[in-house]
A and B are shown apart, each in its own frame.
Chain A
């Protein structure tokens, strides 16, 4: 029995037997040492790691999830010693070099262990509608981007944009954009470990069903399957750790003190907030007035247009007008004033909700018509539902 060590080569996890891992480490250390002083050292090492990863992928399959030592050695032999094309003669071959003890003291194989991680959530600006958030999600979950957008739009409408739009803006701010080709590759990436895990589990299950009647084969399958699952659990945990690390890094970057409170922000923020508040109030009053009296501030809806279309129109119009202001405000919050922090996130919508309830309560106490309307609300809702049903039946 051999211990398995999971390594990360250019963003993918590969489980190796321990001795194979040592051999690979020595190889990469030697390569890094020989390329010391080469201006492209990091790039060459990355290329070589990529080539090794390709070879690892070729020997792995659904029924074989660990690269054994002999295969690692074979692959290293195929790669051949790394020779610096610019430098003088390469140093003597590894046989003459100090053994593993010497390699131990050499520079750590940095890229091998801390390089990228597996598939990551990024914003992808190519083909994006707004900022690439939906695009990034689609790539991450391997879904069609239109589906993601529709889901997002449905969420936005259902919640009046209170949840979806701030969420979107937070994600815009939070998710790193995939700029380099490596990042884009990570965004689309090879299947993430979780996805791959499910695929293999399913495959293994079918294999198990096939051997069901052959007792011995079945027992063997079971053992292998369990072993495989254990290996994947390990690499999954590893991936989660990497993710956590990556996110904490992102957050550190994001919340690093930005010591340049823009004077403009302090002036603009109250104005924008006030404008948003007034617009929200106007929209709420228009909504209620339409709901209660069937007319928008005394003006009746054009004939033939049902009440609910008017209501939806008000919501949409409000969001269309408020969106630029809101995004400006977000921008000012996060980039203009350093110490202002992030109280808005979910707190904003909560405060907005509390305000709305308060408004209804005050209106209920002091405006008799409103009280009456609230009292009559159930029939109103019935009416709205009826008009939807009528519209549906007409189709």
Chain B
């Protein structure tokens, strides 16, 4: 089992956190999100992202608004709700804690 496969569940679990981060930084639509993720280990596809965004909207973490685009039909632009920002903060803190733990564990005492 390659590293890539071993971590697939973790990547999947982290995706929501990353999407929150991307949306918090800028008003984006789905193609923007995909593009930002594509260069990373978290590269994903529409088939995964649309259901995830719809779930996040149902949980009132994000909201969207139709915006006319210069080419083609109107697009859904996503933004964070207050609840979404709160969630992002909590997740960030938790992530800090986890990565701290990962770093700290297993080190020989005294070094």
Contacts and interface: CB of A to CB of B under 8 A. Distances in A.
A, B from the same assembly: yes
Interface of A: 10-12, 31, 35, 38-40, 43-44, 47-48, 50-51, 53-54, 57, 78-86, 181, 184-185, 190
Interface string B21-59: 000000000110000000000001111101110110110
A52 to B, nearest CB: 8
B73 interface: yes
Chain B interface size, as a band, is: 10 to 19
A57 B72 contact: yes
Interface in B64-78: 66, 72-74, 76
Contact of A38 (B46, B51, B72): B51
Contacts of B51: 35, 38, 44, 82-86
Contacts, number: 68
A51 B50 contact: yes
Which of A10, A43, A53 has its CB near the most chain B CB atoms (within 10 A)?
A43
A82 B72 contact: no
A79 B55 contact: no
A79 B50 CA distance: 10
Nearest to B59: A86
Contacts of A11: 73
Contact of B73 (A10, A83, A84): A10
11 contacts: A38-B51, A40-B55, A47-B76, A48-B46, A51-B50, A57-B72, A79-B45, A85-B48, A85-B51, A85-B52, A181-B66
Given A85-B54, A85-B55, A80 B72 contact: no
Given A44-B50, A80-B44, 16 more contacts: A31-B47, A38-B51, A43-B54, A47-B50, A47-B76, A48-B46, A51-B30, A51-B50, A53-B73, A79-B45, A79-B46, A83-B47, A84-B51, A85-B48, A86-B55, A190-B72
